[in-house]
């Protein structure tokens, strides 16, 4: 197998975007492959033996082959190659990309085997280790902090900002099954349409920004993540809102620090969240040796599976080769019997000699040629070359 790989380690998102391909056009052109594209990577897995078989510009890709490519896929599915160690999203992306190629009949037995193994490894790693536990993005850390300090059950959550950071918070809320535990979620954004889109995704309520002060009175937890160049919440805005946790993850800050003077307000900033993120990331990294052990165990199992596939193909090809000779010689023998020029005994004798002679000839021819060029004389390799050269014909 050959893997063409480009990811966040080598390119910024803007350059990765230029490497992205139209899936339908790609699969119209190529067979025996899987295309995996995310915001952080473009990877193409080909079931081929050498680059000459790939009609594509490979200059901007790193090239991994054989075991190295397979191990990369297992590590990727386990979350070890992600920008955020242990993140879960990549496993779903791998599965989706594989199923797309499978649906289009573009995979091979080999690709089916390694991708199914990768998905299994990713699931096992997340089940048997803590590689994906604890929020390490600012958005997920904000939700985790609110959950630990105040709890989310039967609480009203107000999310201010529906941009990139706000969307990360929304994703973290969604992962905690907000329908089951959060009483209500309200999204406020200066562009109402964006708030509406995000609220729809979360089964929440979108409000216009001029209704923000009114919404604050109903909120138990406020997470503020706007891109505003100035502060949007002051001490005066929060005097009569009741007991509230405010988590300000905007940069620059959304909430005036004087808010801390209010006894019913608990204010946390991005600095508090960084400590949580760093601690969680440290815990995840401590799990890496366990993950790598699982990967190597499964890799050894995978190699045995692949060997069985190779043996199955080998037996199938050799059977076809033998059968092609047998059919041709049987045809000759039947024609001789029809002409009645020779006795059945003599015809059978000639048939058996011709049958064995053809097999011996092909074997000797390939063995002599391999010996002349200093190649190994393993039976498996010899038979494989015979099958390839004769194309199963006599």
3-state secondary structure of 79: coil
| Cβ neighbour number for residue 31 with a 10 Å cutoff | 15
3-state secondary structure of 205: strand
For residues 35, 37, 40, 46, the Cα torsion angle rounded to the nearest 10 degrees is 0
d(CA 117, CA 120): 5
Q: Is 163 annotated as a binding residue?
A: yes
Q: Is 43 annotated as a binding residue?
A: no
How would you class 222 by CB atoms within 10 Å of its CB: exposed for 0-12, middle for 13-18, buried for 19 or more? buried
Q: Is 92 annotated as a binding residue?
A: no
Residues contacting 88, CB < 8 A, separation 6+: 79, 126, 132
In the set 15, 39, 83, 96, the catalytic residue is 39
How would you class 240 by CB atoms within 10 Å of its CB: exposed for 0-12, middle for 13-18, buried for 19 or more? exposed
Of 337, 235, 287, nearest to 125 by C-alpha is 287
What is the DSSP secondary-structure string of 340-385? Answer: TSS-HHHHHHHHHHHHHHHHHHHHHHHHHHHHHTT----HHHHHHH
Q: Is 164 annotated as a binding residue?
A: yes
Residues contacting 245, CB < 8 A, separation 6+: 146, 149, 150, 220, 221, 222, 265, 266, 268
Catalytic (active site) residue 39: yes
For residues 148, 153, 156, 160, the Cα torsion angle rounded to the nearest 10 degrees is 40
Q: Is 82 annotated as a binding residue?
A: yes
3-state secondary structure of 16: helix
Q: Is 166 annotated as a binding residue?
A: yes
Q: Is 165 annotated as a binding residue?
A: yes
Q: Is 123 annotated as a binding residue?
A: no
3-state secondary structure of 196: helix
Q: Is 41 annotated as a binding residue?
A: yes
Q: Is 28 annotated as a binding residue?
A: no
Q: Is 39 annotated as a binding residue?
A: yes
DSSP annotation of 233 reads B
Contact call for residues 222 and 245 (beta carbons, < 8 A):
yes
Binding-site positions for substrate read 38-41, 82, 87-89, 93
**Which residues are documented as binding site?**
38-41, 82, 87-89, 93, 161-166
- Known binding-site residues for NADP(+) equal 161-166
Catalytically annotated residues: 39
């Amino acid at each position: 197998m050959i893997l063409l790989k480009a990811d966040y380690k080598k390119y910024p998102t803007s350059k990765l975007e230029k490497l992205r391909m139209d899936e339908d056009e790609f699969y119209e052109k190529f067979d025996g492959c899987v295309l995996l594209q995310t915001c952080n990577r473009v990877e193409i897995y080909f079931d081929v033996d050498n680059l000459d078989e790939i009609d594509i510009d490979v200059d901007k890709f790193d090239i991994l082959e054989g075991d190295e490519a397979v191990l990369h896929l297992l590590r990727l599915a386990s979350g070890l190659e992600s920008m955020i160690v242990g993140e879960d999203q990549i496993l779903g992306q791998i599965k989706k990309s594989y199923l797309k190629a499978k649906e289009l009949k573009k995979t091979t037995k080999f690709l089916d085997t390694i991708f199914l193994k990768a998905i299994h490894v990713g699931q096992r790693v997340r089940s048997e280790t803590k590689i994906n536990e604890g929020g390490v993005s600012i958005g997920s850390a904000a939700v985790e902090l609110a959950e630990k300090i105040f709890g989310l059950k039967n609480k009203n959550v107000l999310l201010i900002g529906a941009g990139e950071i706000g969307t990360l918070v929304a994703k973290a809320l969604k992962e905690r099954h907000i329908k089951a535990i959060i009483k209500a979620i309200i999204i406020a954004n200066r562009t109402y349409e964006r708030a509406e889109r995000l609220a729809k995704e979360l089964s929440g309520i979108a409000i216009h920004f001029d209704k923000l002060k009114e919404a604050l009175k109903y909120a138990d937890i406020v997470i503020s993540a706007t891109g505003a160049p100035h502060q949007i919440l002051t001490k005066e805005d929060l005097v009569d809102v009741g007991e509230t946790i405010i988590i300000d993850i905007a940069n620059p800050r959304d909430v005036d620090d004087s808010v801390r003077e209010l006894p019913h307000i608990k204010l946390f900033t991005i600095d508090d969240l960084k400590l949580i993120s760093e601690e969680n990331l440290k815990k995840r990294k401590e799990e890496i040796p366990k993950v790598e052990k699982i990967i190597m165990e499964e890799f050894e199992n995978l190699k045995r599976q692949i060997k069985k596939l190779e043996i199955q193909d080998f037996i199938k090809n050799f059977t076809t080769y033998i059968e092609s000779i047998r059919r041709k010689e049987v045809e000759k023998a039947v024609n001789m019997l029809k002409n009645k020029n020779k006795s059945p005994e003599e015809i059978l004798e000639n048939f058996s000699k011709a049958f064995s002679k053809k097999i011996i000839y092909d074997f000797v021819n390939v063995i002599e040629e391999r010996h002349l060029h200093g190649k190994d004389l393993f039976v498996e390799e010899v038979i494989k070359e015979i099958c390839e050269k004769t194309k199963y014909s006599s």
